[in-house]
Amino acid sequence: MPFTAPPPAAVAWLHQGACSGFEVGYFHEHDGRYRIKGCTAAVEEGRTWVVDYSITLDPSWARRAARAG
């Protein structure tokens, strides 16, 4: 499925259930693809964690690359 309209500039949501936290992602167009750069942080079973990520999508929304750290 190709992109029919640009995605929103930013997305954000709360984690609920197994963990309690927050996530935010930003969309950037790059060479006809979209890159999502984001960060998530939460508390799960009393332990905190945080992950930064970058995901590249092709025009059909298929993942072409992903990095997390």
Average pLDDT over residues 57-64: 84
DSSP 29-67: EETTEEEEEEEEEEEETTEEEEEEEEEEE-TTS-EEEEE
Provide the edge-to-edge strand list for the sheet that holds 47-57: 10-15, 20-30, 33-44, 47-57, 63-68
2: pLDDT strictly greater than 80: no
- pLDDT digits over 4-52, tens only? 778 889 999 998 888 899 999 999 988 888 999 999 999 999 999 999 9
Which pLDDT score, from 0 to 100, does residue 38 have? Answer: 97
Per-domain residue ranges for the chain?
Answer: 10-68
